[in-house]
Amino acid sequence: MSSKKGQFSFLTKGFLMIFMIIAITLIINQVTFYQINAEKISKEYDLSITAMNLVGMLSNSERCLALNEEVDVGGITENRTYSRIIDLDKVIDFTRRYSETEPECARNYMVGYNVTVDLVPINISYDFTPEEEITVLQHMLEELEGRNAVFVIDMSSSMEENVGQFRKVACVRMFLEGFVNNLEPDQRIAIVGYGSNGNVNNEGCNGGSQEPVGCVINSPFCGATTISSPTIIGGNENALTQQINSGVVAKGCTPMAHGLSMGFSIAESNGFNDIVLLTDGCENCAGDSVCLVQKHLSSGIRVHSIAFGQTICPTGGKKQNCVCAEPLQQISSMTGGRDFIAKDCRELIRPPNSANATVEKAEWSFGTTGHSEGKALDGSIMISLPVMVKRGNEFLAGFIRLSVYDGDLESVSGLIEYVCRKGTESNLDTFIDLPMSYDDGNKMLCMTNPDGTESCRKINCDSEVVMNDVKNPGRYKLIGYWKDGKVNIVA
C-alpha cells in the first residue's frame, strides 16, 4: 500500500513538472509575442511620423513644392509661401531633377521615398455670374428690402419674342424668382399678370384704338381682358415659384391700365407700399395708365416702372414693336418710384453664364525608383494628403502621395549620401540580410534578392565612393569617412 502511494506521488510530481514547463513556455512565448508586437507597432508609428514630416516639408516649404509669390501689402512687396498649395511648375522641375533620387529640400538618411502628385479629374457644367454693372433686379432688391409689393407684369403675346438668346417671358420669370429667393421671413409679395384673349390679331392690338378714353378702362379692340388670379404669399418660396411658372404666360394685347387697377386694389386692401410695373410695349387697349395712377396718388403707393425692350418708342411717333418708356417714367415720377430701362435679359437680371470645367487625370512622380524587398525591408508606408495645385492661373484639387521604405538598402545608401554631403565621418550599426554591392560607375547600390533579381537604388553623390561588397548576411558596423577626395565605406 505504501509503495502504490509513493508511485502515485511520483507520477503526480511528474505531471506537475510537465504542466509547469508548458505554462512557463506559454508565458515566455506570450511575453515575446507582446514584445515583438509592441516593437512592430513602435516601428510603424515611427515610420508614419517620418512620412508625415517628409510630406509636410514637401508641401509647406518654399524650397520644395509650396507656392511662393510676391504680394503687395500696403505698397510693400512681400514674399508669401502658401502651405498645402503646390506650384505645378516646381513639381515638373522636380520630376526632371529628381527622377531617381530624393530632393535635397526634404531628406531623411535612414529611409527612402518616392512621391506622386496627381490632379483630381473633374468634368462638370456650372453656372456663374460675372461681376459687371448692377442690374435692374439688384436695384429693385435694394429698393424693396423688407417692403411688401405687387408685381404687375405684362403678359401680352409680344412677351413670347426673343430678346437675345432668351424669350422675354423666360427673363421675366427669372426676374421674379430673383425676388422669391431673397424674400425675408415676414415679407409678402403678390403677382398680377395682364393680357387679353379672344380673336386677337396684330391689327386688333396695334391697329385698334390706342388713344385713352378718359380714365375708363374698356377694351373694345382687344378681346376680353385677362388678369391672372393674384396670390399674396409670404415666406413660401415653393408656392411663389409655382405661381410664376404656371401664371406668367404670354397672350393677347397690353391692357396695362387693367393690370395697374388690379395692382392698386391689392396694394390698398393689404397695406402694401409698392407696385412694380413691367412692360415690353405700350398701352393698346384704350386704357390710360397715367390717368389711373393720378386717381390713386393719395394712397402714397410708389410705382416703380421697368421698360423691357431693345427699342424705345419715339415721342409722337408710331408705337409699334417698341416700348413706351415715357409714360412709365411719368408714372414713377408722380409716385416717387424708380424707373428703369432694360434692353435685354442681362440688363434685367443678368442670367448666369454656363461653363464647363474639365480637368483630365494627370500625375507627376519623383524620388527613388528602387527599394529594399523581402526580408531586407523592415517596413513601408504610404500616405496621401489633399492639396491645391496651382497650374497657370488655375487652382485645382489634387493629392500628394508619399511612399516611404525602411530597409537595408535605404540605411546603407543614407550613410553614403550623408558622408558625401556633409563631408564628415559617420557610422551605421545594422544587420544586412542580403548580399550588397556598389557600382560607382553607375552610382548604384544594389542588393541581390533570393530569386536572383536585384534591387538597386541610385546614389546622389558626385564624388567617388569606395565600398567593399557585403557577401554574407550578418551584423555589420559600417564606417564612412572622407579620404583623398573619396567617400570610403568600410566594415
Q: What is the pLDDT of residues 282-320, one digit of tens each?
A: 887 777 889 989 999 999 999 999 999 888 888 776 677
Task: Give the pLDDT score at 355.
Answer: 62
CA angle 255-326-336, nearest 5°?
A: 90
Q: Rounded to an integer, what distance in angstroms lies between the CA atom of residue 183 and that of residue 190?
A: 12
Task: Give the pLDDT score at 275.
Answer: 96
Looking at the fold, whether 188 and 272 belong to one and the same domain comes out as yes
pTM: 0.51
Looking at the fold, whether 304 and 430 belong to one and the same domain comes out as no
Residue 427 lies in a domain: yes
Looking at the fold, whether 96 and 168 belong to one and the same domain comes out as no
Residue with cell 500625375: 363
- Tally the domains of the chain: 2
Looking at the fold, whether 146 and 89 belong to one and the same domain comes out as no
Q: For residue 385, which of 404, 399, 365, 402 has the smallest C-alpha distance?
A: 399
Residue with cell 390713386: 296
Residue 321 lies in a domain: yes
Grid cell in block for residue 455: 534591387
Element (H, E) at 116: strand 112-119
Q: What is the pLDDT of residues 10-30, one digit of tens each?
A: 444 444 555 555 555 555 454
Lowest mean pLDDT among 5-19, 385-399, 451-465: 5-19
- Give Cα 124 distance to the centre of its chain: 11
Contact of 263 with 275, CB cutoff 8 Å: yes
Instruction: Assign 17 to helix, strand or coil.
Output: helix
Q: Rounded to an integer, what distance in angstroms lies between the CA atom of residue 205 and that of residue 161?
A: 16
Does residue 171 register a pLDDT over 90?
Answer: no
> What is the CATH classification number for the domain harbouring 300?
3.40.50.410
Residue 151 belongs to what domain range? 130-351
Grid cell in block for residue 252: 393677347
Instruction: Assign 371 to helix, strand or coil.
Output: coil
pLDDT band at residue 202 under the 50/70/90 scheme: very low
Q: Rounded to an integer, what distance in angstroms lies between the CA atom of residue 62 and that of residue 80?
A: 9
Residue 23 lies in a domain: no
Task: Give the pLDDT score at 7.
Answer: 40
Q: Rounded to an integer, what distance in angstroms lies between the CA atom of residue 356 and that of residue 242?
A: 29
Query: Average pLDDT, stretch 181-206?
Result: 69
Contact of 108 with 54, CB cutoff 8 Å: yes
Under DSSP, the state recorded for 374 is G
pLDDT band at residue 33 under the 50/70/90 scheme: very low
Element (H, E) at 330: helix 325-335
Looking at the fold, whether 370 and 318 belong to one and the same domain comes out as no
Mean pLDDT of the chain: 81
Residue 32 lies in a domain: no
